């Protein structure tokens, strides 16, 4: 498949604002073998919001037996600072999760279904049709609570068990979401199988069928082209991306899946391309370093190591370098 050459200018060149949704305290911490203390999660969320991050997938209301790392979801939501203009989303797998999320007054509930049957079975232990029935219940609860619902499509660009995921499979889920009143859809590249042509194909297919739907893109850097996929999305006029601080995360049910694209690297790219995020990159890097300390192992983020390109170094520090 060959993609037509295109310049990296947005559909509407005057639209330079990009919404960055931070998923590190959910997608990232969930994949950590050691549970992160609630106070630390709250500290990280507050520090990121203070650095200007406007939107979060803060936690998920799931069975503590299935995902012990998220057992403190209600407590995290109760303790995190609520700032005007900052959106705190929570992921829910079912009605019980939606009720708990509504009781915790999250700003947006996120439901999720995989576009591939086998990944949905592995991740949610039921067929897609069963998950869509759950979505209807979740939507009813969200509506009753007056909380907007966002629909995530996992394995939207490929499945580790089935390979290519047909666009029609993605469209079927988006159609079900739209039928439940969902306006925000997030396409998840759960195992890092997206490529720029696949991004273009999925975004254009959804736009063609559901022009009112707002699309966010959630990429993983499993094969090193996460930010190339962001550029493809920007060129298509997409203005929301999900990422994790330091690049933490991965899907425990997807073999070989490594982390999300990294928030500092994404923000660095966006700013260098003239987009506005409202985020202070230096403060973001400081939080990434703190997260590295908290998890106790190196994180894949690169800008957190090298710094912004115009951060200067004393010449003495490189005098003896030979290559």
Active site residues: 251
Question: In whole angstroms, how close is the CB of 323 to Zn ion at the nearest point?
Answer: 37
Describe the crossing of helices 196-209 and 226-235 by its angle, rounded to 10 degrees: 40
Q: State both tokens at 80.
A: 């995190």
Q: Is 123 or 131 the residue whose CB approaches Zn ion more closely?
A: 123
How far apart, in whole angstroms, are the C-alpha atoms of residue 44 and residue 50?
10
- Within 8 A by CB and 6+ apart from 318, the residues are none
Q: Is 59 or 141 the residue whose CB approaches Zn ion more closely?
A: 59
Burial profile 197-233: b = 16 or more Cβ within 10 angstroms, e = fewer: ebbbbbbebbbeebeebebbbbbbbbbebbbbbbbbb
Stretch touching Zn ion by CB under 5 A, among 1-9, 203-211, 257-265, 314-322: 257-265
Residues 96-155, interacting with Zn ion (CB under 5 A): none
Residues 273-312, interacting with Zn ion (CB under 5 A): none
First to last CA, the chain: 39
Question: In whole angstroms, how close is the CB of 54 to Zn ion at the nearest point?
Answer: 19
> Which of 2, 5, 17 lies closest to 270, judged by CA?
17
Question: In whole angstroms, how close is the CB of 12 to Zn ion at the nearest point?
Answer: 27
Question: In whole angstroms, how close is the CB of 5 to Zn ion at the nearest point?
Answer: 29
260 binds Zn ion per the rule CB under 5 A: yes
89 binds Zn ion per the rule CB under 5 A: no
Site string for Zn ion, 10-49 (x = CB under 5 A): -----------------x----------------------
> Where along the sequence are the contacts to Zn ion (CB under 5 A)?
27, 260
């Amino acid at each position: 498949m060959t993609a037509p050459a295109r310049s990296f200018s947005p559909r509407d060149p005057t639209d330079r604002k990009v919404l960055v949704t931070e998923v590190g305290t959910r997608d990232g911490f969930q994949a950590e073998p050691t549970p992160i203390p609630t106070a630390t999660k709250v500290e990280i969320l507050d520090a990121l919001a203070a650095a200007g991050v406007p939107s979060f997938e803060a936690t998920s209301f799931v069975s503590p037996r299935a995902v012990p790392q998220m057992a403190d979801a209600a407590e995290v939501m109760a303790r995190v600072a609520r700032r005007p203009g900052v959106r705190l989303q929570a992921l829910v797998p079912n009605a019980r999760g939606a009720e708990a999320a509504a009781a915790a007054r999250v700003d947006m509930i996120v439901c999720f279904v995989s576009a591939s049957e086998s990944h949905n079975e592995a991740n949610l232990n039921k067929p897609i049709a069963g998950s869509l029935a759950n979505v209807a219940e979740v939507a009813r609860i969200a509506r009753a609570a007056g909380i907007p619902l966002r629909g995530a499509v996992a394995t939207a660009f490929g499945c580790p068990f089935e390979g290519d995921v047909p666009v029609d499979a993605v469209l079927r889920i988006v159609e079900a979401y739209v039928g439940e009143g969902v306006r925000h859809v997030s396409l998840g590249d759960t195992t890092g199988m997206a490529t720029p042509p696949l991004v273009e194909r999925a975004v254009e297919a959804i736009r063609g069928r559901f022009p009112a739907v707002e699309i966010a893109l959630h990429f993983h850097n499993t094969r090193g082209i996460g930010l190339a996929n962001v550029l493809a999305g920007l060129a298509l006029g997409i203005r929301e991306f999900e990422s994790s601080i330091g690049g933490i995360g991965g899907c425990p049910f997807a073999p070989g899946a490594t982390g999300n694209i990294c928030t500092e690297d994404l923000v660095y790219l966006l700013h260098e391309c003239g987009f506005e995020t409202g985020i202070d990159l230096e403060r973001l890097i400081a939080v990434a370093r703190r997260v590295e300390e908290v998890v106790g192992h190196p994180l894949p983020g690169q800008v957190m190591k090298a710094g912004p390109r115009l951060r200067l170094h004393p010449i003495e520090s490189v005098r003896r370098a030979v290559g």
